[in-house]
Structure 1
Amino acid sequence: MPVKFTVSQINNNIDNLIKQRFSNIIIEGEISSFNISPSGHSYFTLKDENSEISCVMFKRDLLKLNKSFKVGDYIHCLGSLGLYTPKGQFQFRVLNIKSDGLGEFWENFQKLKKKLSEEGLFDDTHKSAIPKYIKNICIITSLNGVVKDDLIKIIRSRATYHDIKIFPVTVQGSSAAKSISQSIIHINKYYNFDVLIIARGGGSIEDLWPFNEEIVARSIFESRIPIISAVGHETDYTIADFVSDKRASTPSEAAEIVSINQQEALIYIDELFSRMELSINNILDKNHTLLDDLSNRKVITDPNESILILREKIHELYKYLNVYLNSKINKIESNLNLFQATLHGLNPYNVLNRGYSFLLNNKNQNISSINDVNTGDKIYSLHSDGKLKLEVYGKRKKDN
């Protein structure tokens, strides 16, 4: 007849068998998650390329260590394997830890981070601002789990005007990175959302690894729609966080970023209305003052008298212009007469009227010297009433 056990009995028996076989052993691997509880105990996961195991290190043993550890460290753990009987799960109780450098996952993370940083993918100059007032939201996440429900619940609790769409993707496993990358490309090509939220709950470094893949990082960088990365818990950082336009420490924070509390929005609108009303009243008061000032002016109270005054001013100006222009014209005429007299006095032909004559050669050029002609040349003597044709019979130089 088969032996009957209760759940507690079978778990306790297995725990004893495991401890007998696997006490005081060393397990080596890479830390893929690491948390310290409020009580001071540490809970973490060790992994290699094929498997992982849950580990616990109690507070008194943790305090004995002279250094801290983080996700990605490759370590050697001394301890005993057992079964956590309340849950029926394997658990390795760690007594001491020795570091052996960085694990493969962490090294790959740092290499890609350095590469993308040097290319400028993390620079603030390439990041788009998240709109203050958002209506159309697309959440890129898995349909499984509570992340999408939490996001929608928080957004709806703060405001009801948002149009929220879910774009389902795989967020864990070998095909997840490609699924996430293609979703970003597809949404940018065919939709016009105000913002995209890439969301996933917490998990180990392996669970979050799709968000550390280069194809996801480059798709986020190329997105024309602003992207908020909301992956894991507050202490979890992925490459997607660095490339995205904004990082939310949790999906819940992302929900608060994209939604303005409806009551706060109404208060803000009331404040804007008050400011507008005050501004309009100030403008009206200023214009009323200007109107009162204008209404007391002579041109408004007695326009006829103002017209007469203006007419007199125009008449006086007309008289002044007449005097000024006549003075200017007379001065110009005097200058012209003087100039004309000067030109008349300088005219060489006026000397002919006084009995003088000019001698010209056969080319009508003035003869100013006996050297300008030769014996036998025909020349002309120009007088006021005509000219004489002459012939040179001889030349005699002037005696000094």
Structure 2
Amino acid sequence: MKIKVLSVFEVNNYIKKILDNDFILNNLSVKGEISNLKYHSSGHIYFSLKDDYSKINCVMFKNDAYNLDFVMKDGMSVVVKARASVYNANGSMQLYCTEIQNSGLGELYIKYQVLKEKLEKEGLFDIYNKKPIPDEVKRIGVVTAETGAVIHDIINVTKRRNKTIDIVLFPAKVQGDRAYLSLIDGLNYFNKSKSVDLIIIGRGGGSMEELWNFNEEGLARAIFNSKIPIISAVGHETDFTISDFVSDMRAATPSQAAEIAVKDIEDLKGKAQNLKTLLIKSMDSIITSKKSLLEISTHRLNLNSPEYKISNEMIEIDRLKEKLNSNIENKLFVFRSELQIMSGKLDGLSPLRILDKGYSVIKKENKIISSRKELLKTGEIEIVLKDGSVIGEFISKE
């Protein structure tokens, strides 16, 4: 008997029909722990249900999701009512959920919350313990898997923003049993060598168990004790790990971590040009202000300089000199007038005026004789007349 050759679609469709017609698979109640949870913009909810041994993909469409009375979270333990079927496009089997009941938190999520509360009480998440991200970074250390999108995203973003930045990769395990020890080795290597300005630690997205190495206490303490600032870039934007809380800064994605770490050189050039323009304007303003102040100070200095004061005093001296000369001339004029008057009066009283009238003056021994008694003795006398004087011998007849 020859078996018909089927297309891939026919095989998937055949399996789907078998599953869809199975009573048990169409009326399932399944208990498990939520992981890989994603609330889609369409309103559908995508997630996985897992236990200690296996995992299955699940979807809950918008109309059914509308009736949920709680917000689903990774690590939450739930019971779903669903039917099992095959998605024809990729042949994957998944559960199509119609109802979901919260049956408590999963073991991993409880472990995560206990450790988070413990480290938070110890101060490992406190803002004042976080180191500032350097403004100027020349070398970046990256602790992540050697293969994968993380290192490529960081390199691409970094080189696009600033080609002069060096990137040093420490290839570490990011998933699997005790992979966190490899991550700790990377942090210790960079701290010992002191060869980088900043460290980025991270990996791509995944389920809670896939990201669990970034929730290990040993790694959290290694991040806290690092002397070099660390940016955590673990998973997607909605994923939060202990490493995110204890790191100096959390980036939603590895690309964002590179954007935080590396300043865009074109932006820096623009800012430098703006600062240059502001500096020139500021300098011009300061110079103008200082020139004005200098002119005012120079004017004040000139007003108070000895030379200026001497000049002013010389002017005052000249003014006083002129005033003194004027006063002297006025005084001389007054004195001359008074002298003329007094001279006239004196001239009127002068003995010489009497001589003009025929009188004479007798002198003896150069003294005027005013009494007869003074002539009783014989001796030489001088008789002063109008036109001169004569000297003769006086002879007394008594």
CA contact (8 A) 2:303 2:309 kept: no
Counterpart CA distance in 1 for 2:44 and 2:285 is 66
Counterpart residue identity of residue 163, structure 2: T
Matched, 1:14 2:19: no
Q: How far apart, CA to CA, are the structure 1 residues paired with 2:59 and 2:138?
A: 46
Bigger mean CA offset, 248-257 vs 71-80: 248-257
Cα distance in 1 between the residues matched to 2:70 and 2:193:
51
Give a deviation string over 1:191-227, Cα, whole Å, max 9, x none.
3322111121111111111111111111110111111
The one of 87, 91, 102 equivalent to 2:90 is 87
1:178 aligned to 2:181? yes
AA at the equivalent of 1:97 = I
Deviation (angstroms), 1:90: 1.8
Instruction: Calculate the aligned-residue CA RMSD, in Å.
Output: 2.4
Spell out the pairing of 1:349-360 with structure 2 (5 A cutoff). none
Deviation at 1:3, TM superposition (A): 4.2
SS in 2 for 1:257: helix
Where do 5+ consecutive residues of structure 1 fail to align? 310-400
Alignment equivalent of 2:119, drawn from 116, 119, 124: 116
User: For 1:250, which of 229, 248, 253 is the aligned residue?
Assistant: 253
Worse overlay, 104-113 or 65-74: 65-74
**Correspondent of 1:57 among 53, 56, 60:** 60
Deviations 1:263-309 (A, max 9, x none): 22111111222333334334544554565434853797849969xx9
Q: What's the offset of the Cα at 1:87? A: 0.8
CA distance in 1, matches of 2:238, 2:290: 60
Q: C-alpha displacement at 1:124, in angstroms? A: 0.7
Alignment-mate amino acid for residue 128 of structure 1:
K
Tell me the TM-score normalized by structure 2: 0.72
- Alpha carbons 1:192, 1:225 under 8 Å: kept: no
- CA distance in 1 between counterparts of 2:280 and 2:65 reads 64
Sort the Cα spacing of 1:163 and 1:300 in 2 relative to 1 into closer, same or farther, 3 A. Answer: farther
- Distance, in Å, in 2 between the alignment partners of 1:38 and 1:29 is 25
C-alpha distance in 2 between matches for 1:166 and 1:65 = 45
Give the C-alpha shift of residue 100 in structure 1: 0.9
How do 1:223-242 and structure 2 match up within 5 A? 223-242=226-245
Tell me, in whole angstroms, the C-alpha distance in 2 between the residues paired with 1:291 and 1:124.
50
Counterpart of 1:197?
A: 200
Partner residue of 1:297?
302
Tell me, in whole angstroms, the C-alpha distance in 1 between the residues paired with 2:290 and 2:73.
69
What pairs with 1:1-400 in structure 2 (closer than 5 Å)? 1-19=2-20, 20=22, 22-289=25-292, 291-292=294-295, 293-294=297-298, 297=302, 302=307
- The alpha-carbon deviation at position 116 of structure 1 amounts to 0.4
C-alpha distance in structure 2 between counterparts of 1:32 and 1:208, whole Å = 11
Give the counterpart letter for 2:273 in structure 1: D
- In 2, distance between residues paired with 1:76 and 1:232? 26
Instruction: Calculate the TM-score normalised by the size of structure 1.
Output: 0.71
| AA of the residue aligned to 2:255 | S
Question: Which structure has the larger Rg?
Answer: 2
1:256 aligned counterpart, secondary structure: helix
Question: 1 CA distance for matches of 2:199 and 2:61?
Answer: 41
In structure 2, the partner of 1:348 is: none
CA positional deviation for 1:13: 2.0
* Mapped partners of 1:38, 1:153: distance in 2: 28
Same amino acid, percent of matched pairs: 40
Deviation at 1:183, TM superposition (A): 0.8
Q: Distance in 1 between matches of 2:134 and 2:227?
A: 13
Secondary structure in 2 aligned to 1:153? helix
Aligned equivalents of 2:169, 2:306: Cα separation in 1: 72
